[in-house]
Amino acid sequence: MSESFSASEMYTWMEEGVPHLYLDVRNEADFSRFHVEGPQDIELLNIPYFDFLEKPEETVAKLDASRSVRVICAKEGSAQFIADMLEEFGFGDIQWLAKGIIAWGNVLVAKQVPTPDHYELWQFNRPGKGSCAYGLIHKGELMLFDISKNLEFYRNFARARNLSLVAVFETHLQADYISGGPSLASEFEVDYIAHEGDFSSSNVTYRAVVDGESIGFSKAGGPSVLCTHSPGHTPGSTTYVIDDKYMISGDTVFIVSVGRPDLGKKVVEWAKQLYATLKNRISVLPDELMVLPSHYTDWTKEANGDHLIINDFGTVKALNESIYALASEDEFVSWVEANMRPQPEEYNRIRRVNANIETVDLATAEELDLGKNQCAASQG
């Protein structure tokens, strides 16, 4: 009988470049909607499990029995079934992904961002989604930004370091994943801090952030969080500048591209807001600020050598020169319109869940939450 591996192990193999052959046995439609991607290129094959049932010898012959093969499916049943079959065919190093692709979609990887010694900043990367949350720590207090619904991860993170949660921030009403912010804030009886531009018509309990306000820790000497309203991707998008050194940029500034302003179906209005935001509120920030975005699309372009999604704002502007150099509002709107593409159909429902206008059971939440983000205004 073949053995299982965990989604976290899979991330580690990818980061370390372990040369496994990954075999995804789901149907082609589900595979094309969402599949495993990691910090380094991997060898990934999609052969639906029913091919192995229908023509076992012919299908198995497509694989090299001397390779270590890691089998992936939706839940785990089919992966285990195929792994056992491959073992019977004489494959020596076969394992299957425990709890399936959803487990991969929920993996979080915590990495520390280099900071001055008196505080800590953590990036919580969710490779299955291409999204990042953040944690800021000063003298036993923890602030969280843009967290996903994997609350147990954040509880454990705080408990293991003996931290008390003091605030949960949201950069904007997320459309591509279900936020864990309101639940965790309510559980720990701390403020859920967000902008009324996105949340005034929601059923979420929140503390409205004010443009230009600075939010700090209770003990003296900690880093400040300067809140800068940066509408465009959404009307309430807010950028949090930490200690004049880091920009938690939400879906406003990405390492590659900027946040798409067409998700709210008011593309011209929001694109104009985004143009004004980039020109008047973001471009004026210092080049030395380190950009920490909510999303990324391409590891090779957006991660640094330590697999952190980070770069300095000067470099970010240079990487996206064609966007930042657009000379007029009209040109910017035209560029947005030229790069528009459909948004995944589940985004509207995720927004409703994040605004607490609709509640869903866990299975529906997992299904809605699966898939890579489509938040950037341009691709490739």
Partner 1 sequence: MSHNDEIDCSGMSCPLPVVKSKMKIDTMNPGEVLKIITTDPGSCKDIPAWANRVGHEMIEEAEENGKYYFLVKRGE
Q: Decide whether 54 or 337 has the Cβ nearer to partner 1.
A: 54
CB 36 within 8 A of CB 126: no
Told to check if 102 binds partner 1 by CB under 8 A, we report: no
Other CB atoms within a 10 A radius of the CB of residue 301 amount to 12
Minimum CB separation of residue 81 from partner 1 in Å reads 5
Minimum CB separation of residue 4 from partner 1 in Å reads 16
Tell me which of 28, 211, 244, 331 binds partner 1, using CB under 8 A.
28
Told to check if 104 binds partner 1 by CB under 8 A, we report: no
Question: Residue written as tokens 């959803």?
Answer: 102
Selected catalytic residue, list 73, 132, 227, 375: 73
Torsion of CA 325, 326, 329, 332, to 10 degrees: -130
Site for partner 1 in 80-99 (CB under 8 A): 81
Q: Decide whether 48 or 130 has the Cβ nearer to partner 1.
A: 48
Q: Decide whether 95 or 238 has the Cβ nearer to partner 1.
A: 95
Tokens of 153: 């991860």
Tell me which of 4, 6, 27, 339 binds partner 1, using CB under 8 A.
27
Told to check if 50 binds partner 1 by CB under 8 A, we report: yes
Tokens of 323: 């966007």
Percentages helix, strand, coil for the chain (3-state, rounded to 5) are 35, 25, 45
- In sign, the C-alpha dihedral spanning 261, 266, 268, 269 is negative
Told to check if 46 binds partner 1 by CB under 8 A, we report: no
Q: Decide whether 80 or 311 has the Cβ nearer to partner 1.
A: 80
For residue 316, CA distances in Å to 226, 255, 293, 358 come to: 20, 5, 11, 37
The residues that bridge with 240 in the sheet, in sequence order, are 227, 248
Told to check if 209 binds partner 1 by CB under 8 A, we report: no
d(CA 55, CA 24): 17
DSSP 23-56: EE-S-HHHHHH-----SS--EEEE--HHHHHHSH
Binding string, 108-137, against partner 1, x = CB under 8 A?
------------------------------
Told to check if 48 binds partner 1 by CB under 8 A, we report: yes
Q: Which residues, other chains included, contact 117 with Cβ-Cβ below 8 Å and sequence gap of 6+? A: none
Helix (H) or strand (E) holding 240: strand 238-242
Told to check if 349 binds partner 1 by CB under 8 A, we report: no
Told to check if 325 binds partner 1 by CB under 8 A, we report: no
| Residue 73 bears catalytic tag | yes
Told to check if 2 binds partner 1 by CB under 8 A, we report: no
Q: Decide whether 6 or 27 has the Cβ nearer to partner 1.
A: 27
Told to check if 279 binds partner 1 by CB under 8 A, we report: no
- Tell me the CB-side half-sphere exposure of residue 325, using CA atoms within 13 A: 6
Q: Decide whether 98 or 109 has the Cβ nearer to partner 1.
A: 98
Q: Decide whether 78 or 202 has the Cβ nearer to partner 1.
A: 78
The rounded Cα 298 to chain-centroid distance in angstroms is: 12
Site for partner 1 in 51-80 (CB under 8 A): 51, 53-54, 73-75, 77-78
Tokens of 214: 């600075």
Minimum CB separation of residue 348 from partner 1 in Å reads 21
Query: Which residues are marked as active site?
Result: 73
Query: For binding to partner 1 (CB under 8 A), which residues are involved?
Result: 27-30, 48-51, 53-54, 73-75, 77-78, 81
